[in-house]
Structure formats: structure tokens, C-alpha cells
Amino acid sequence: MLTLLLVPLATSIALLTYLRLEPRGPRRWVPMLCRAVAWGGLGALVGNPGCPGPADSRPPLVLLDASLSMTADSGQWQAASDSAAALGRVRWFGDARPWTDSVPGRGRSDLGPALAAAAAIGRRIVVVTDGELGDVPDIPAELLASTGIAVLPRPRGRDLAITEVSAPARATIGDTIAVTADVQLSGADSAESAVVVLLSGTRVLAREDATVAPGATVPVRFVSGTRGLAVGTQLLRVRIENAADREPRDDARTVAVELSGTPGVVMLASPGDWDARFLYRTLREVADLPVRGYVRLDGERWRDMDGLREVPAATVRAAARGADLLVVRGAARGMDEGTAARGLLRWPDAGGPAGEWYASAAPISPIGLAFLGVPVDSLPPVTDAEALAAGSGDWVGLSVQAGRRGAARPVILGRQVGRRREVTIGADGFWRWAFRGGPSGDVYRAMMAATVSWLLAEPDRGSAEARAVRRVVDHGLPVTFERTSDSSLSVPVSLESAGIVRQDTLRFGGDGRASLWLPPGAYRYRLGGARGGTGTVAVDTWSREWLPQPIAVEPRAMTAAAAAGRTSARQWPWLYALVLLSLSAEWFARRRLGLR
């Protein structure tokens, strides 16, 4: 009714303005007609009349679960694929990779991103899945409620599986390494025995027996020597022998260990006093590298700090030269000459005046967080503090005062010398902090951890164009590289596996990372660019998708097609175009008539 009034009213007003207010002339009917059409269209837009629109006849959008769980043991991928094709237009979901029409191989079961994108299209949505979805709690309830869900669960059967594997990131040739694996049994009625082996290629490094109860997880620990293994990245494999279960692809898992000819952290102590003992023990606790200590106890003979076994001086000198971090407590007696360590911690015997020196200040420094929230003057006193001279660019980690009075003396200094970082400690008696335990012991441990972290910070930055974030990834997950500088947005890379070379390009995003989706296997990669870089990465055959997971969604019928609705005038694009064209034509006609 409103539209029936507004359109004639707007048209009449447009006509009257020309008949009453504008000068008369033989051609005034052209702009008058244009204004009448424009104002009539505006009246229609204000009134916004509607008319019946067509019903939504588009087929639904079908989101098909393409994660690896759909093809695990007796997964119903073929039935799900056929059902999805019969329902409507199919799109796969699971992880962030682009949709393809190949065999499903997605290492995740994330529905949320695909469901949100599909809902923005405005079509009916159907999800076809096995129900083992990982992000259902994060999806809005109203979005799930308006979505049809078809669940084709996979039958559950007896399955022995390796769920987790942990190993040291680095080890030294000749040392022992400890590898821990978790073995899980599901779908069984009684406890079973399993034989678990640790392999390097086809060589068995260790073998352990385990008894697993139904629904339980049992840790298995291997201790193996490294003699006979090559220096470099070693891909060790933990496997259940003769599992004979429903899903064999979760019976083994790979872990990478970097083997070096020399320890990552080498400590030389001469003499082996209390500070040396507590420092060595703390280094072994806080450093994520192999730690080897040597102490000079009698004459010029050096001994291993673990078992006091005598060690040739040549062995000590070679270890010091090849270490990533060299720690010298006391006098090195020439053993540190020619070292290539990128971090150097020097702790000489303090030559300052004897007495009790209390910590007085912990300035802002790379190790300052170790003292956060602790009144430093309450820490046990140190002895023989020697004032260290801070140079340009040096940072001071700690200062002390004699008897809590007098001038403060810097006793911890850090500096950057070329590509090497150095820290010097100029006081004895810090072992008292660790010996007392409690807050002072925590401060000692945190101080040494922060010192080691700063000395070894970013060891590979600047030496290669990019580095692999993880050396072993699960089946269906991408191999991710992290850019080490902002100099390039893309880097060519070649990957060799089983004699086959693959060429690709790393394209880094705003977060400085690039991903490659690779099939299972071990790859030796070589980066292009000015600095290049090489390394080893592996894509495991193991995936968490192989393990049985709880059903996260219930079946739900698809919503019916939307009934025929109404289309309003404001939804007609041609009406807006008509108004604009009419106003433009009126302006042009008025200019031709000499009117404003």
C-alpha cells in the first residue's frame, strides 16, 4: 500500500517542479520525464515492495571427510565417497591443503574451517564422516545444528599401537641414548604380551618385552649404544614385532637423533672443586645437548667427570675443539686452543679479596629473568669476587657487594665477539646457591639455564636459507621450513628419496614459514639461494588418524530445501541502475537546454 502511494506521489512532484518552477520550452519534456522516472524509482526503493522469488533448487554442498582415518583398517571410504557423490557437490575437508580428487591422505580431521566457508555460500550443507573429528568443541553449536551429518563409523577391532616416542635430539658417538615408547592395546578382551624393538635401518639396537592390558598404555624404555652408527641425522624406528592386528600402520614410529663426533657441551675443570661439580651437574640438567666433562685431578692427567676414567689429553683437546659450547672452570692449560665453539663460558679462579660478597643487583640482561621475584641480597654469599671490567657492548648479569656494603662489583659479564658469544664469571662460591636448595637452588639453575640458552641461541641462523622445524612429521602432515632471514620470499629446494629427485619451491608466508606436502619416506634436501643448506627430513607412515578415536558427532537429517521466498525491490540491481541513469540523463538534458 505504501508503495502505491509513494511512486505516484514522487512522480507527480517531479512533474510539477517542471510545470510550475522551470521555464517553459519545447524540449523540457525530456528532463521532466527523466526526473519523473528517477523520483518514481526512489519512491519504489523507499516503499520496498516485494514479489515471490524462486525456491532454492541448488543441490546441497557435501563436505566429505578425507582424513586418513577414513581408510584406516576397515574404514568405509568407498561407501562414504559414493554417498557424498549421490547427495550433491562434494568438497573434501581435513586439513589446510588445497582440495584434490586423489586418494584421501589428510593427517587431520578438522571440520570447522571447511564448515564455516561452506556456510558463507548460503547453500544446504551435508557432512559425510566417520565421526572421528578433532575440533567439534570449537564449532558454533548453531552452525552444527543447521548441518546434515551422515556418520559411517569404522568397525573397531584388536589393535596394538605405538602412540608416542621420545628420544634425545642430539647424542655423541660412543654415548648411550635412551628412547621411550608408549604401547597401547585396544579392542581386546585380555592382556597381551608384545615384543618391541629399536631399529636403525635393519640393525636391531635394543629389544624389550611389554605386557599391555586392554585400554591401557605401557611405557617401554630402550637404552642403546651408538657405536657403529654414522655421524649425522639417524632415523631410529620403534616397532612392535608380529603384532598381527587390524591396523599394521600404527605398529611402528620413527624418531630422529642427531649424532655428532664430539659432545655438544664440553666442560674442562682444573681443579675439580665444588663449583665445578655443581656446574657440571646443572649443565647436564638444563642443556638440551650431549654434555661431557673432563677434570684434571693429579698432575697433567685428565679424567672423565662421570666415572673418573682416565682420558688422553688428545681426546680432551679434540672434544674442546669440536664442542658447540665450551665451559672452562679454572685453567684450561691450553686445551681450549683452536676451539670452534660458538659459545664460550669462562669461569677462572677468582683472584679478588676473600670475604663474603652478597648479590646486590641483577640488571636487565639476557639472564635477568633468573632473578625475577627473588630478593638477590637474600642469596648465600659468594667468595673471592674479582671486579670485571665491562667493555662497550658488554652486558652485566650480576653485581655483588662486600658484606652488603661498599661499591658494587660486576661478577658476570656477557659479550658478542664476532659470531661467538662469551660469558665470564668472576667470583667463586656460587655452588652454595645450588647446595642450599629451595629458592636459591632454583635461581642457580635458572641462571645457568639462561646462560646456556644465550650462548647457544639460534645456532643455525645465518648459516642456511631455511631450516626444517621438525625433522620427522606424521603421515599426512606437511614438512615445514622456517626462513632464517627476510632476504627472500621463495627458495628452490630439491629433495632426494630412494634415488628419485624432486624439485620444488619453498614459498614463505607472513609468518616466515613454508610447507611441503610429501608422501611417506626419508628425504635429503638441498636448498638453493645464496646460502643454500642441506639436511634430512622424514615423513613417517604413522599417523594419529590410524588410532581409534571417540565418535564426536551424531547423525542428523539434512534440512529441507528453502521454500519460495520473496524478493524485495532493494534486491533488484536494475532498479538502482535505472535511478542513476535517469538522474544522469536529466542532468545532461538540462545542460543542453542551458539550465543548471
Q: Which of 254, 234, 236, 231 is nearest to 472 (CA)?
A: 254
Query: What is the mean pLDDT of the segment spanning 24-30?
Result: 70
Domain of 345: which CATH number?
3.40.50.880
Q: Which of 88, 84, 114 is nearest to 99 (CA)?
A: 114
Give the separation between CA 366 and CA 422, rounded to whole angstroms: 12
Give the separation between CA 251 and CA 160, rounded to whole angstroms: 7
Query: What is the mean pLDDT of the segment spanning 447-471?
Result: 80
Round the average pLDDT of the chain to a whole number and report it.
86
Assess whether 50 and 65 both reside in one domain: no
- With cut-offs at 50, 70 and 90, classify the pLDDT of residue 269: very high
**C-alpha grid cell for residue 378?**
637474600
- With cut-offs at 50, 70 and 90, classify the pLDDT of residue 176: confident
Residue 273 lies in a domain: yes
Q: pLDDT, tens digit, for every residue of 362-385?
A: 888 899 888 888 888 889 999 888
- With cut-offs at 50, 70 and 90, classify the pLDDT of residue 25: low
Domain count, the chain: 5
- The 8-class DSSP code of residue 137 comes to G
Give the separation between CA 517 and CA 199, rounded to whole angstroms: 26
Residue 164 lies in a domain: yes
Q: pLDDT, tens digit, for every residue of 246-264?
A: 888 999 999 999 887 777 8
Query: What is the mean pLDDT of the segment spanning 271-300?
Result: 88
SS3 content of the chain, % helix, strand, coil (to 5): 25, 35, 40
In this predicted model, which residue has the larger pLDDT, 147 or 103? 147
Residue 256 lies in a domain: no
Residue 252 lies in a domain: no
Give the separation between CA 5 and CA 541, rounded to whole angstroms: 73
Residue 553 lies in a domain: no
- With cut-offs at 50, 70 and 90, classify the pLDDT of residue 151: very high
In 134-175, at which residue ranges do the beta strands (DSSP E only) sit? 148-151, 159-166, 170-172
Under a CB-based contact definition with an 8 Å cutoff, are residues 549 and 161 in contact? no
Q: pLDDT, tens digit, for every residue of 469-490?
A: 999 999 999 999 998 776 668 8
Under a CB-based contact definition with an 8 Å cutoff, are residues 293 and 281 in contact? no
Give the separation between CA 115 and CA 144, rounded to whole angstroms: 9
In this predicted model, which residue has the larger pLDDT, 322 or 414? 414
Q: Which pLDDT belongs to residue 546? A: 92
Residue 56 has pLDDT above 50, yes or no: yes
In the chain, the percentage of residues whose pLDDT exceeds 90 is 40
Q: pLDDT, tens digit, for every residue of 93-134?
A: 988 887 666 678 888 999 999 999 988 888 889 999 999 998
Query: What is the mean pLDDT of the segment spanning 382-390?
Result: 86
Under a CB-based contact definition with an 8 Å cutoff, are residues 447 and 231 in contact? no
**C-alpha grid cell for residue 489?**
620470499
Please say which residue of 455, 487, 514 terminates a domain: 455
**C-alpha grid cell for residue 301?**
692427567
- The 8-class DSSP code of residue 99 comes to P
Residue 239 has pLDDT above 90, yes or no: yes
Under a CB-based contact definition with an 8 Å cutoff, are residues 345 and 425 in contact? yes
Residue 304 has pLDDT above 50, yes or no: yes
Residue 254 lies in a domain: no
Assess whether 292 and 412 both reside in one domain: yes
Residue 562 has pLDDT above 60, yes or no: no
- With cut-offs at 50, 70 and 90, classify the pLDDT of residue 461: very low
Assess whether 124 and 216 both reside in one domain: no
Residue with cell 698432575: 299
Assess whether 346 and 446 both reside in one domain: yes
Assess whether 274 and 163 both reside in one domain: no
Q: Phi-psi category of 429—alpha, beta or left, where left has phi over 0 and alpha has psi -120 to 50?
A: left
Q: Which pLDDT belongs to residue 2? A: 59
Residue 21 has pLDDT above 80, yes or no: no
442 phi and psi angles, rounded to 5 deg: -65, -40
Assess whether 293 and 208 both reside in one domain: no
Give the separation between CA 314 and CA 328, rounded to whole angstroms: 17
Pairing relation of β-strands 148-151 and 125-129? parallel
Contacts of 522 (CB under 8 A, 6+ apart): 235, 497, 536, 537, 538
Give the separation between CA 18 and CA 33, rounded to whole angstroms: 10
Query: What is the mean pLDDT of the segment spanning 343-350?
Result: 90
Give the separation between CA 106 and CA 70, rounded to whole angstroms: 10
Give the separation between CA 264 and CA 328, rounded to whole angstroms: 14
Q: Which pLDDT belongs to residue 460? A: 42
Give the separation between CA 303 and CA 336, rounded to whole angstroms: 16
Query: What is the mean pLDDT of the segment spanning 66-80?
Result: 85
Residue 162 has pLDDT above 50, yes or no: yes
Residue with cell 604401547: 183
Under a CB-based contact definition with an 8 Å cutoff, are residues 335 and 316 in contact? yes
Q: pLDDT, tens digit, for every residue of 41-51?
A: 787 777 777 76
Assess whether 450 and 479 both reside in one domain: no
Q: Which pLDDT belongs to residue 173? A: 83
Contacts of 189 (CB under 8 A, 6+ apart): 214
Residue 289 has pLDDT above 90, yes or no: no
Assess whether 217 and 70 both reside in one domain: no
Domain of 520: which CATH number?
2.60.40.10
Contacts 24+ apart (CB under 8 A), 463-467: 463/531, 463/533, 464/527, 464/531, 464/532, 464/533, 464/534, 464/535, 465/491, 465/527, 465/528, 465/529, 465/530, 465/531, 465/532, 465/533, 466/491, 466/506, 466/508, 466/514, 466/527, 466/533, 467/533, 467/535
Contacts of 64 (CB under 8 A, 6+ apart): 80, 81, 84, 90, 91, 92, 93, 128, 129
Please say which residue of 399, 433, 455 terminates a domain: 455
User: Where would I find the H helices in 199-347?
Assistant: 274-286, 313-322
- With cut-offs at 50, 70 and 90, classify the pLDDT of residue 163: very high
Assess whether 449 and 302 both reside in one domain: yes
Residue 462 has pLDDT above 50, yes or no: no
Under a CB-based contact definition with an 8 Å cutoff, are residues 84 and 64 in contact? yes
Q: Phi-psi category of 428—alpha, beta or left, where left has phi over 0 and alpha has psi -120 to 50?
A: beta
Query: What is the mean pLDDT of the segment spanning 550-575?
Result: 75
Assess whether 181 and 221 both reside in one domain: yes
Q: Which pLDDT belongs to residue 53? A: 58
Q: Which pLDDT belongs to residue 322? A: 85
Q: Which pLDDT belongs to residue 561? A: 56
Residue 540 lies in a domain: yes
68 phi and psi angles, rounded to 5 deg: -65, -25
Residue 266: CB atoms within 10 A of its CB come to 30
- With cut-offs at 50, 70 and 90, classify the pLDDT of residue 451: very high
Assess whether 450 and 302 both reside in one domain: yes
- The 8-class DSSP code of residue 59 comes to P
Give the separation between CA 470 and CA 460, rounded to whole angstroms: 14
Q: pLDDT, tens digit, for every residue of 188-238?
A: 889 999 999 999 999 999 999 999 999 899 999 999 988 888 888 899 999
Assess whether 68 and 39 both reside in one domain: no
Give the separation between CA 564 and CA 54, rounded to whole angstroms: 5
Q: Which pLDDT belongs to residue 459? A: 45
Residue 516 lies in a domain: yes
The domain containing residue 163 runs over which residues?
159-245
